């Protein structure tokens, strides 16, 4: 196969991008954490999802259209489920070509393109109803599905060199551009997504009309064209937004598109809005896991500090979107705070969305549960399974990028990366047991001696860090939450070593998060922990009290949950059974008896992979001494 450079977001020639992507095919993961997950993705998840897409008629719909069969079995956004899965498949082929997966991709690509109308239109539900097309942008997902098709087509083109889907994407984009735009029909998608896809299509083809159309859809939002609701982020113009609101996935996809437009145009008002929204989300509306969207009603962001645990929505798609947006903000700024949030959401909010065996999925991700919430094989609205698949397929592409100054190292895992920098090939071998240990060693092997900088990320969660070069400590003290620049003439065999202190810490939340009053969560490095009943026999984990001065120890347990670091300690447990059937008591009647207990916490992403039982992230702690 004539594979091209396959990048997640190609900002290579974007004039306002500070960083440029490294193709995901240039990074080969060899670690004990991500490499097995990508293997499971290839051997299990993609095939399981393919079976569901066939079983539920989603792929068959394209074939029905091609043969003129009007018996379309359709649920909202069904086409996009196929496209997201296909995008994951394409990225997987770019990372490492597999003949079986390649044959599936080629076959499904032909099925998809066969359903395209002569005028370029492609949406199976309205394939035989031309009068209904583009008439209900509020509820229907025509533009949303088109965006996902563009992304799938671009990924397939970059992964295999085949123009089959890319040419179809161009025809569909030209069809949409002939209908919408200045002087044409007004309108915006009820579900944003096409904006970022159009910018990526502009990057793939060089046709500026796609960039202009993406900007048009952002400019038109807030005029009430899709009802003017907060839910659809149509209540005010985008540049006037001062808080992150509405359907969480819609909101974050819109921000992705706006960031992409900024990367091409440099419009400061767009970026100023993005900063306001980012700070509002991170400082007041994001869970400790990096999950977003606190309300089941509307799958939406709540008010400031509205972060309930048992009824947290935290849709898996929203976690994926959070990662996508922060990656774009990182490309625009080269600031580590965006990588910190990307990493947080990646290891916690998003990864919880898929079971360890790659077969089952969460749509909703609560932070406390009584044992009733379990992953499922599939959903009627199946947006999350293929979305987590395409995220996992792109993980290798998040590790490195380049700039005019040198190479940037964003994430840590054992890997070998082959990076091109100004006509010089640079191999970086990364040795580490991250995220379980904080030691990272980078072996640098340029094809020839070359002067450049390596920027290594010092995570914001790390209070103490040390960096040495060829065995000698650097004079510059690393600052958490920044990139440390190491500039020199690099030679083969140079070694850069990081030690990132990774203690177990208790985390408290802002006092206005009412349900977290006098409660703490446990973090170690990038990992957020939870308590499952299966590890804590003899007391209910909802009754656990962790003292603020508890001695917490971390232990790697290779036999548990695919190999994890658990946190152990001693605390206390109340006996809630003393309340019987009483809901309220006078305070003078309340007499809690405490018993000392040993507790074990596991990574949040790994919960619900064993027998059902209560789970909780935020446990009681006497914060006032």
What is residue 228's DSSP assignment? -
Winning range, highest mean pLDDT, from 72-76, 80-84, 513-517 = 80-84
* Cα three-residue angle 505-511-514, rounded to 5 degrees: 110
What is the mean pLDDT of the segment spanning 322-342? 98
162 closest CA partner among 1, 390, 348: 1
299 is catalytic: yes
Q: Is 256 marked active-site? A: no
Of the candidates 595, 601, 614, 624, the one whose C-alpha atom is nearest the C-alpha of residue 517 is: 624
| From 145, 314, 383, 530, active-site residue | 383
Residue 466 CA to residue 555 CA, distance in Å, equals 23
For residue 223, the model assigns a pLDDT of 96
Tokens of 436: 């379980």
pLDDT of residue 214: 98
What does the pLDDT read at residue 625?
61
Task: Return the pLDDT at 4.
Answer: 67
Residue 368 phi/psi, 5-degree rounding, is: -155, 145
Q: Give percent of the chain with pLDDT exceeding 90.
A: 94
Strand (E) or helix (H) holding 597: strand 595-603
Summarised one tens digit per residue, pLDDT across range 260-308 is 999 999 999 999 999 999 999 999 999 999 999 999 999 999 999 999 9
Q: pLDDT digit string (tens) for 454-463?
A: 999 999 999 9
Longest CA–CA separation in the chain, Å: 78
Measured CA to CA, the distance from residue 343 to residue 527 in angstroms comes to: 9
Contacts of 299 (CB under 8 A, 6+ apart): 247, 248, 249, 293, 313, 315, 318
What is the separation, in whole angstroms, between the first and last Cα of the chain?
65
Beta bridge partners of 537: none
Answer whether 258's CB lies under 8 Å from 218's CB. yes
Confirm if 352 and 374 have CB atoms less than 8 A apart. Answer: no
Q: How far is CA 147 from the centre of its chain?
A: 18
Question: How much is the average pLDDT of 349-366?
Answer: 98
**How far apart are the C-alpha atoms of 8 and 94, rounded to whole Å?**
11
Summarised one tens digit per residue, pLDDT across range 564-594 is 999 999 999 998 888 889 999 998 888 878 9
What's 477's DSSP letter? P
Instruction: Give the pLDDT score at 2.
Output: 46
Among residues 49, 264, 299, 315, the one annotated as catalytic is 299
Among 12, 9, 24, 34, which residue's Cα sits nearest to residue 432? Answer: 34
Q: How confident is the model at residue 381 (pLDDT cuts 50, 70, 90)?
A: very high
pLDDT-derived band at 3, boundaries 50, 70, 90: low
Confidence of residue 74 (pLDDT cuts 50, 70, 90): confident
Distance between CA atoms of 237 and 105, rounded to whole angstroms?
40
Closest CA to 610 of 379, 384, 371, 388: 371
Q: Is the pLDDT of residue 115 over 60?
A: yes
The DSSP 8-state label assigned to residue 247 in this structure reads B
Strand order in the sheet with 27-29: 27-29, 415-421, 424-432, 439-446, 494-500, 465-469, 472-473
Taken in order 240, 243, 245, 248, the sign of the CA dihedral is positive
| Three-state SS at 127 | coil
Residue range 204-219: average pLDDT? 98
Selection from 455, 573, 463, 448 nearest residue 525 by Cα:
463
Q: What is the pLDDT of residue 514?
A: 92
Taking a C-beta distance cutoff of 8 angstroms, is the pair 342, 323 a contact? yes
Average pLDDT over residues 508-537: 96
């Amino acid at each position: 196969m004539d594979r091209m450079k396959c990048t997640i977001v190609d900002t290579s020639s974007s004039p306002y991008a500070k960083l440029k992507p490294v193709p995901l095919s240039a990074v080969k993961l060899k670690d004990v954490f991500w490499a097995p997950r990508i293997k499971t993705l290839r051997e299990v998840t993609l095939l399981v999802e393919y079976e569901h897409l066939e079983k539920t008629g989603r792929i068959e719909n394209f074939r029905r259209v091609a043969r003129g069969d009007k018996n379309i079995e359709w649920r909202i956004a069904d086409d996009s489920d196929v496209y997201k899965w296909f995008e994951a498949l394409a990225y997987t082929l770019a990372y490492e070509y597999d003949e079986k997966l390649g044959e599936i991709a080629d076959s499904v690509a032909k099925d998809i393109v066969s359903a395209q109308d002569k005028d370029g239109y492609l949406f199976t539900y309205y394939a035989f109803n031309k009068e209904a097309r583009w008439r209900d942008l509020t509820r229907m997902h025509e533009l949303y599905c088109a965006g996902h098709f563009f992304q799938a087509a671009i990924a397939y083109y970059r992964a295999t060199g085949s123009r089959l889907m890319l040419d179809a994407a161009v025809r569909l984009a030209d069809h949409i551009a002939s209908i919408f735009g200045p002087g044409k029909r007004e309108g915006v998608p009820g579900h944003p997504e096409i904006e970022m896809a159009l910018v990526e299509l502009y990057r793939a083809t060089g046709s500026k009309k796609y960039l202009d159309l993406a900007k048009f859809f952002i400019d038109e939002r807030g005029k009430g064209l899709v009802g003017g609701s907060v839910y659809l982020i149509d209540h005010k113009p985008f540049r006037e937004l001062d808080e992150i609101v509405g359907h969480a996935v819609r909101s974050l996809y819109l921000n992705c598109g706006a960031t992409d437009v900024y990367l091409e145009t440099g419009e400061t008002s767009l970026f100023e809005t993005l900063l306001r929204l980012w700070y509002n989300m991170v400082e007041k509306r994001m869970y400790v896991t990096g999950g977003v969207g606190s309300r089941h009603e509307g799958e939406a962001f709540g008010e400031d500090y509205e972060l309930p645990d048992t009824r947290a929505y935290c849709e898996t798609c929203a976690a994926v979107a959070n990662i996508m947006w922060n990656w774009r903000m990182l490309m625009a700024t080269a600031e580590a705070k965006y990588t910190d949030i990307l990493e947080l959401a990646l290891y916690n909010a998003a990864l919880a969305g898929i079971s360890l065996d790659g077969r089952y999925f969460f749509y909703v991700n609560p932070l406390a549960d009584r044992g009733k919430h379990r992953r499922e094989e599939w959903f009627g609205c199946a947006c999350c399974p293929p979305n987590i698949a395409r995220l996992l397929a792109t993980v290798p592409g998040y590790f490195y990028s380049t700039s005019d100054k040198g190479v940037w190292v964003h994430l840590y895992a054992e890997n070998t990366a082959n990076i091109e920098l100004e006509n010089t090939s640079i191999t970086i071998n990364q040795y580490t047991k991250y995220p379980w240990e904080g030691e990272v060693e980078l072996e640098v092997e340029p094809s020839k001696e070359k002067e450049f900088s390596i920027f290594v990320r010092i995570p914001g969660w790390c209070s103490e860090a040390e960096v040495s070069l060829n065995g000698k400590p650097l004079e510059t003290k690393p600052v958490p939450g920044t990139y440390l620049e190491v500039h020199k003439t690099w030679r083969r065999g140079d070694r850069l070593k990081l030690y990132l202190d990774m203690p177990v810490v208790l985390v408290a939340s802002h006092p206005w998060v009412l349900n977290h009053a006098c409660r703490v969560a446990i973090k170690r490095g990038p990992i957020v922990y939870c308590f499952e009943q299966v590890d804590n026999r003899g007391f209910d984990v909802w009754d656990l009290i962790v003292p603020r001065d508890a001695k917490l120890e971390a232990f790697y347990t290779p036999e548990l949950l695919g190999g994890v670091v658990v946190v152990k300690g001693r605390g206390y447990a109340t006996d809630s059974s003393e309340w019987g059937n009483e809901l309220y008591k006078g305070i003078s009647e309340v007499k809690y008896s405490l018993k000392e207990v040993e507790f074990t916490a596991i990574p949040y992403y790994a919960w619900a992979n064993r027998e059902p039982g209560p789970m909780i992230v935020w446990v009681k702690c006497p914060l006032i001494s």
